[in-house]
Chain A
Amino acid sequence: MSTDSSALPVLTAKDFASDQEIRWCPRCGDYSILAQMKKVLPKLGIPKEDFVFVSGIGCSSRFPYYMETYGFHSIHGRAPALATGVKVSRPELSVWVITGDGDALSIGGNHLMHAIRRNIDLKIILFNNQIYGLTKGQYSPTSPLGSRTKSTPMGSVDNPLAPLCVAIGSEATFVARAIDVDIKGLVSTLERAAAHKGTAFVEVYQDCNVFNPGAFSYATDKKVKADNLIYLEHGKPLIFGDGSKGIRLNEMKPEIVTLGKGITEDDLLFHDEKAEEPSLAFLLSRMRYPEFPEPVGVFRDVEKPVYDAQVNSQVDSAIQEKGEGDLEALFNSGDTWTVE
């Protein structure tokens, strides 16, 4: 074996599996996300000791235990804040936040919003199953209005949040959506997130087959999903279904149109993930089933200054300007006097 540290050992998905028994329910959507993550990481050219997975509380937040990397299973809602401490301290590490809809949007809404607006270099993967699974079936901040759950026997009266709307409203520089069982889409989305400098926010539709089974069947069922999803591609028109339907902008509103009869691709909305102005991305994030097909893929990918890099570069410039801190000089700054 080479001792040259620059020659990285070739890693495989297996190298990222920890020795811990996985304790999610059988057929939980989390299994697929874990499997795709283990596929993506070896491709990044980063030694596995340089990954840190930070999670909050919830089923998804068990994730770090199953990864043979550094990991921190923190407390409910606080993963982005804990990860901020990690990333600012050690900007050279690849820091991932694993969270869920309750963790990120309910108890941890504040931290999520602030991590995103700072554009700290974290990869935030939100497993959205529209239910509280670990506490056995209460409605979550993403559960649809009227959801009948253990805590809402007569139907929920809370308006749900759309995670991507929150992220875009918080000035996110990278926003994407993927689906647990869409292996190809999930892998490519995770790869894109990993490549982004700054906060990458990814919502993954994840099936909780125990407490909210089939919540996303419209997006996973082979028979209907083509009509209910739009695969976003930068610079391409928004076309879905069998290729005959598209999304057109009518003033500020999206509408579904059928191609032909005087409507061509050029009339459709073209996806621009690099647009500085987030309004179109926001519009896409508000397109919800069943009124609209739901976009998946990368909604937004723009560059902005990165928080952890800036905090550390202020330190570097202070050292450059004032010289490395000297305690003796610090203590003796200001008015001093001597007692003989």
Chain B
Amino acid sequence: MAATDAASTDTPEQKPLEEVETVVVRFCGDSGDGMQLAGTQLTNVSAVFGNDVVTLPDFPAEIRAPAGTLSGVSGFQISFSSADIFTPGDQVDTLVAMNPAALKTNLPDLKRGGTLIVNEDAFEKSNLQKAHYDHNPLDNEDELAGYRVHRVPMTRLTRDAVDELDLSLKIADRCKNFFALGLVFWLYDRDAKPTEEWIQTKFGKNPAIVQANLKALAAGSNYGYSTESFTVHYRVPPAKLAPGRYRKITGNEATAFGLVTAAKLCGKKLFYAGYPITPASDILHELSKLKNFGVRTCQVEDEIAAMTAIVGAAYSGELAVTASSGPGICLKAEAMGLGVMTELPMVIVDVQRGGPSTGLPTKTEQSDLLLAMYGRNGDCPLPIVAARGPADCFKMAQEAFRLATSYMTPVILLTDGYIANGAEPWRIPAIAELNPIEVNHPHANGANGSGESDFLPYARDAKLARPWAIPGTPGLQHRVGGLEKSDGTGNVDYSPTNHEHMVMTRQQKVAGIADDIPEQSVEGPEEGDLLVLSWGGTYGSNRTAVRECLRQGKSVAHAHLQYLNPMPRNLGEVISRYKKVLIPELNTGQLRLLIRSYFLVDAVGYNKVQGKPFLVSELVAKFDEILAK
């Protein structure tokens, strides 16, 4: 009781409040400890306060691995800053570890001299054993000597805080994530109000739980305020973001918003078919909530059905989309080819995760680029775009549909587990700022639909796109399918010259998109020693690393690709202006393979396949190494 009571009876001196620019906090504990929730709440209050935020949730594939074990540790890292930031941070300033297993797996990421807050109560014999400790690390001064350690009896203090509510111990103990959160709120001078409101809304039906969580949150905060253990706390002023109204958004939310927006912009209803798969399922969840936008969502029997159903919906004239991750994209391949052959517009979202096979379901990777490029039978080109961060998914989802409808082709949107689950502030766009998406359908043909039709389903416009004639339109009855088509009539045609013509036409159509996308821009010098060429979700770390080098006066520039197929038409010329080209990727070198073959340039790679994003420090070290050669 002492700690919480102390706050009300004594009046401790006001503790010094230090201002800092950027802070990295990580909560870690059992997957049942509510760490994702604590992290999300800290993200939310920091965003609402006006900081720039970037998050990195990190959770095991097992929903509830045995409590206390190393494999069951779940973590949530957040960086919040008064500056413009692009990564969740390389090293952690404050680590909150709820048990020995969490301490063991996360301590290596804590900065020397950083703050370590542990739930001392969890460091008992059985938990220590499960974490494979043969001793209690909290009792070993050498082991934690480099950190500012705060041993907090969180379980006991949380139980004390909710004592009067007569809850079972099990329920009381569930509140300790809010105790930890309250303590961090105090440590970083956060306003708890948004979290308090969230608790009220979330648990409103159960007043005892509302009270318990609020009391735990307050107790945590009071603990920081009143105990001598904490001598100082910190303030991170609001960031100077571009003026406007903001909200926090994850990549999957932004993708869902972007898809619905695209449908609205072209006056269509969205049709989504999908099969649950980590880390893409949240797109299905988000869209299922938006039925009042005319969104039809179908959770179908498998990935193949999902892909094939969107081909059917596209044929019917809807804006059709499916989302999945690597294993699901493999299953969709044949039907994607059908979409290419029948030249219908649709979007396939691949939220990449570690592979091959089931791989690392909850970890990030960029290893589906070549799958997206070439993972189908035949010469089967389709456009590929990639989002560079959580909020950017909103824009790229619309861009995917713009290309799909204007070129009559399936389009792949690549995101990844890191940006899909990660969150950042999103400046809410005015509707007028959004790019229109224009869609045309040919009108009825023949008098009252009964006349002779001269409709040519495979006639082509200047972009080589064919008309999107939809069932129900009189006089435009036509048949499509996976067999090779005769250009113009669309009738089955196996003749050698027609097949070659059609293969080339499909290729040219996609290649022609290069004239319809922005040219490649570069940050840094227009020419120089090193070009860092990155793509997709590694934008933030590469940008931060290049900026650091630029501040040090090094001749480094950064080009970040968002259009992977086709690539911007000036890319070869951009690459040629630098002595060396480095391609950092979270795979074994898939973009590098493409760049080397397209431009005959001796690009080198920096490749990491650990299921984690790049650290800024490792990128800077690599840039330095190459510059020194």
Known contacts A327-B431, A335-B48, A336-B245; A90 and B317 CB within 8 A of each other: yes
* Chain A hits for B240, CB < 8 A: 339
Q: Which residue of B lies closest to A18 (CB)?
A: B479
Chain B CB count within 10 A is highest, among A18, A111, A315, A339, for A339
- CB <8 Å contact, A85 and B308: yes
Determine which of B271, B304, B338, B431 lies in contact with A88 in the assembled complex, contact meaning CB atoms within 8 Å. B271
- Cα of A119 to Cα of B257 in the assembled complex, Å: 31
The interface residues of chain A lying within 8 Å CB-to-CB of B241 are 339
Q: Shortest CB–CB separation between residue B291 and chain A, in angstroms?
A: 4
Shortest Cβ distance from A94 into B: residue: B471
Q: Which residues of B contact A18 (CB under 8 A)?
A: 479
A194 within 8 A of B: no
Contact of A335 among B194, B312, B316, B320 (CB under 8 A): B194
User: Is the CB–CB distance between A81 and B471 below 8 Å?
Assistant: no
CA distance A141 to B184 in the complex (A): 63
Residues in A with CB closer than 8 Å to B320 are 85, 89
Interchain CB contact under 8 A, A93 and B472: yes
Q: Is B290 an interface residue (CB 8 A)?
A: yes
User: For the complex, is A135 an interface residue (Cβ under 8 Å from B)?
Assistant: no
Tell me which of A43-51, A150-158, A242-250 binds B: A43-51
Q: Which of A1, A74, A83, A325 contacts B290 (CB 8 A)?
A: A325
A335 & B248 in contact (Cβ 8 Å cutoff): yes
Please determine whether A47 and B479 come into contact, CB atoms closer than 8 angstroms.
Answer: no
How far apart are the CA atoms of A5 and B447 in the complex, in Å?
11
Binds A, one of B294-302, B363-371, B407-415: B294-302
Given contacts A110-B305, A327-B264, contact A72 B312 (CB under 8 A): yes
Residues of B contacting A323 in the complex (Cβ-Cβ under 8 angstroms): 292
B583 within 8 A of A: no
- Tell me whether A335 and B47 are in contact (CB under 8 A): yes
Kindly identify which residue among A74, A110, A322, A328 contacts B482, using a CB–CB cutoff of 8 Å. A74
Q: Contacts A49-B474, A50-B471, A315-B291: A64 and B316 contacting too (C-beta < 8 A)?
A: no
Measured CB to CB, the nearest residue on chain A to B341 is A75
B312 engages A85 (CB within 8 Å): yes
Q: Which of B291, B306, B431 contacts A328 (CB 8 A)?
A: B431
Residues from chain A with Cβ under 8 Å of B293 in the complex: 324-325, 330
Say whether B429 contacts A331, CB under 8 Å.
Answer: yes
Q: Known: A52-B471, A335-B44, A337-B50. Contact between A85 and B335, CB under 8 A? A: no
A74 to B305, CA, bound (A): 12
Cβ A330 vs Cβ B244 within 8 A: no
Bitwise interface map of B from 254 to 294 toward A, beta carbon under 8 Å scored 1, else 0 = 00010011001000010101000000000000000011111
Bound together, the chains give a CA A114 to CA B273 distance in angstroms of: 14
B296 A315 Cβ-Cβ under 8 A: yes
Chain B nearest CB, measured from A76 CB (Å) = 8
Chain A's closest residue to B44 (CB) is A335
Indicate if the CB atoms of B449 and A90 lie closer than 8 Å.
no
Q: How far is the CA of A175 from the CA of B78 in the complex (A)?
A: 57
Which residues of A have CB within 8 Å of B492?
20, 65
Q: How far is the CB of B66 from chain A (nearest CB, A)?
A: 34
CB-defined contacts of B429 to chain A, threshold 8 Å = 331
Q: Are B243 and A339 neighbours in the complex by a CB distance under 8 Å? A: yes
| Distance between Cα atoms of A313 and B243 in the complex (Å) | 41
Whether B448 and A319, one on each chain, are in contact in the complex, defined by CB atoms closer than 8 angstroms, is no
Q: Mark A133-159, 1 if CB is under 8 A from B, else 0.
A: 000000000000000000000000000
Is B396 an interface position by the 8 A CB rule? no
Known contacts A3-B448, A81-B304, A315-B296; is-contact A75 B244 (Cβ 8 Å):
no
B194 cross-chain contacts in A, Cβ below 8 A: 335
Contacts of A81 in B (CB 8 A): 300-301, 304-306, 308-309, 312
Q: Are B431 and A78 in touch, CB under 8 angstroms?
A: no
Produce 1/0 per residue, A303-340, CB < 8 A to B: 00000000110110011011111011011111111111
Question: Is A327 a contact partner of B477 (Cβ separation < 8 A)?
Answer: no
Query: How far is B44's CA from A245's CA once the two chains are assembled, in angstroms?
Result: 78
The reply to whether B296 and A114 form a contact with Cβ atoms under 8 Å apart is no
Whether A34 is near chain B, meaning CB under 8 Å from some CB there, is: no
Q: A64-B479, A86-B316, A325-B293 are in contact. Are A49 and B471 (CB under 8 A)?
A: yes
Give, as a whole number of angstroms, the nearest-CB distance from A322 to chain B.
Answer: 4
Q: Is A172 an interface residue (CB 8 A)?
A: no
B296 adjacent to A90 (CB under 8 Å): no
Task: Give the residue of A67, A314, A332 whose beta carbon is less than 8 angstroms from that of B428.
Answer: A332
Q: Does B246 contact A (CB under 8 A)?
A: yes
Check A339 against B246 for contact (C-beta < 8 Å): yes
CB pair B302 A88 closer than 8 Å = no
- Neighbour of A1 across the interface among B305, B447, B472, CB < 8 A: B447
Which DSSP category, helix, strand, loop or mixed, fits chain B's interface? mixed
B311 within 8 A of A: yes
- B627: CB under 8 A from chain A? no
Determine if A89 and B308 form an interchain contact, defined as CB atoms under 8 angstroms apart.
Answer: no
Q: Are B477 and A84 neighbours in the complex by a CB distance under 8 Å?
A: no
The answer on a CB contact under 8 Å between A325 and B313 is: no
Q: Are A311 and B471 in contact (CB under 8 A)?
A: no
Known: A85-B271, A85-B312, A327-B431. A75 touches B335 (CB 8 A): yes
Is residue A241 contacting chain B, with contact meaning CB distance below 8 A?
Answer: no
Interface flag for B481 (CB, 8 Å): yes
Known: A47-B474, A65-B492. Is A315-B448 also a contact (CB below 8 A)? no
Across the interface, name the chain A residue whose C-beta is closest to B265: A327
Shortest distance between the CB of A310 and any CB in chain B (Å)? 11
Contact A324 B312 (CB under 8 A): no
Interface membership of A160, Cβ < 8 A: no
The one of B290, B476, B482, B483 in contact with A49, judged by C-beta atoms closer than 8 angstroms, is B476
Does A71 touch B at the CB level, under 8 Å?
yes
Name A331's closest neighbour in chain B (CB-CB). B428
> Would you call A70 an interface residue if the criterion is a C-beta within 8 Å of the partner chain's C-beta atoms?
yes
Q: Which of B48, B257, B314 contacts A337 (CB 8 A)?
A: B48
A54 lies within 8 A of B477 (CB): no
Residues of B contacting A331 with CB < 8 Å? Answer: 247, 257, 428-429
Within the complex, the shortest CB–CB distance from B268 to chain A, in Å, comes to 10
Which residue in chain A gives the minimum CB-CB distance to B293? Answer: A325
Q: Select B292's contact among A82, A311, A318, beta carbons within 8 Å.
A: A318
Chain A neighbourhood of B92, CB < 8 A: none
The interface residues of chain B lying within 8 Å CB-to-CB of A267 are: none
- Chain A residues with CB under 8 A of B471: 49-50, 52, 70, 86, 90, 93
How far does the alpha carbon of A93 sit from the alpha carbon of B450 in the complex, in Å? 18
B523 contacts partner chain A, Cβ-Cβ < 8 Å? no
A89 touching B317 in the complex, CB below 8 Å, given contacts A47-B449, A82-B311, A315-B291: yes
Best-surrounded residue of B318, B477, B483 (most CB of chain A within 10 A): B477
CB distance B294 to A93 under 8 Å? no
A221 → chain B closest CB, angstroms: 36
Contact of A84 with B305 at beta-carbon distance under 8 Å, contacts A89-B318, A315-B295, A339-B246 already known: yes
Residues of B within 8 A of A1 (CB): 447-448, 450
Smallest CB-CB separation from A67: which chain B residue? B479
Tell whether A276 is near chain B: CB-to-CB under 8 Å.
Answer: no
State whether the Cβ of A177 lies closer than 8 Å to any Cβ in chain B. Answer: no
Distance of A334 Cα from B246 Cα, bound (Å): 10
- Complex CA–CA separation, A114 to B264 (angstroms): 31
> In the complex the two chains form, what is the Cα distance from A50 to B470 in whole Å?
10
25 pairs, A vs B, C-beta closer than 8 Å: A49-B473, A50-B471, A67-B479, A70-B471, A71-B479, A72-B312, A73-B480, A73-B481, A73-B483, A74-B312, A75-B334, A78-B305, A84-B298, A89-B296, A89-B317, A89-B318, A90-B471, A315-B292, A318-B291, A319-B292, A325-B293, A327-B264, A335-B48, A336-B246, A336-B247
Supplied contacts A20-B491, A335-B44, 14 more A-B pairs, CB within 8 Å: A15-B450, A20-B479, A71-B480, A85-B273, A85-B308, A85-B309, A86-B312, A89-B317, A93-B316, A325-B290, A325-B293, A325-B294, A336-B247, A337-B245
Nearest 4 interchain pairs by C-beta: A85-B312, A73-B481, A325-B293, A85-B309
